[in-house]
Amino acid sequence: MGIVTRGFRGRRDREEVALPPGQYLERGFPVLSAGPTPQVAPGAWSFTITTETGGEHRWSWEELQRLLIEDVTVDLHCVTKWSKLGTHWRGVSLDVLLDGVATTAPYAMAHSYGGYTTNLPLADLRDGQAWVAFEYEGQPLRPEHGGPARLLVPHLYFWKSAKWVRGLELMPTDQPGFWERAGYHDYGDPWREQRYAGD
Ligand SMILES: Nc1nc2c(c(=O)[nH]1)N[C@H]1C(S)=C(S)[C@@H](COP(=O)(O)O)O[C@H]1N2
Ligand SMILES: [Mo]
């Protein structure tokens, strides 16, 4: 794994942090979008989980806000090689949203307003590993970063964290999403440097 020295002045000068292989430490928050930013007002936003048998579970913005909300601090790793450490988010755990959804489907496709998709094993969205996030660093999530709400799945490369998320389609078989069809790795574990198909 890569070891990077933080560039802070002063006593943190020699603090070393571990980054996944091939990654560098980013201070800013780059915007990476495959197309234009969809403008989705919270009142027009909803999140729908569709099961493999066609069952639908839908939450409006107001319904989402009434669920158990968590504050999470996570590291982000983009396949373009920047990592950002200790970012603060607020959102609803997928555990809460999947609670009561009857499914045996092993895969999920995240769908976004604007048409972006990305596939994940459903197990990677459970057990405190994924959120529908709507605040970043104490502010409503800005549209260019996926506001009003995005998926946050920080243990995988950041392309799996679908911005402007509008739902999950639970699938009996694995299907590639937008970047996965274009040659990105199906799973995308930054610690195993799974950037592209075949890695
Ligand atoms: N809907 C949507 N989600 C997306 C993307 C996108 O183009 N559209 N890009 C992905 C990629 S490649 C990355 S690195 C992150 C970038 O998020 P950011 O722009 O907030 O840094 O969003 C991911 N989610
Ligand atoms: Mo990315």
Pocket test for ligand 1, best of 26, 134, 159 (most atoms within 8 A of CB): 159
Q: Which residues pair with 135 in a beta bridge?
A: 90, 140
11 C-alpha vs ligand 1 centroid, how far in Å? 34
Q: Residue 159 in 3-state DSSP?
A: helix
Closest ligand 1 atom, residue 116 Cα? 1
* CA-nearest residue, atom 21 of ligand 1: 31
41-65 burial, b if ≥16 CB within 10 A, otherwise e?
Answer: ebeebbbebbbbeeeebebebeebe
Backbone angles phi, psi at 143, to 5 degrees: -55, -40
What are 119-166's pLDDT values in tens digits? 999 999 999 999 999 999 999 999 999 999 999 999 999 999 999 999
Q: Whose CA is nearest to atom 23 of ligand 1?
A: 159
Question: Is residue 163 in contact with ligand 1, taking CB distance under 6 Å?
Answer: yes
Nearest partner of 120 among 80, 179, 77, 34, judged by Cα: 179
- DSSP reduced 3-state for 142: coil
Average pLDDT, the chain: 94
pLDDT tens digits along 4-36: 544 444 444 445 678 999 999 999 999 999 999
Alpha carbon distances (Å) from 192 to 10, 21, 187, 195, 198: 33, 8, 10, 9, 12
85-103 pLDDT per residue, tens: 999 999 999 999 999 999 9
Q: Taking the complete model, does pTM exceed 0.85, yes or no?
A: yes
Q: How far is the CA of 189 from the centre of ligand 2 (A)?
A: 13
pLDDT at 13: 45
Determine the topology of domain 14-27+43-192 in CATH.
Sulfite Oxidase; Chain A, domain 2 (3.90.420)
Q: Where are the domains of the chain?
A: 14-27+43-192
**What are the tens digits of pLDDT across the range 44-71?**
999 999 999 999 999 999 999 999 999 9
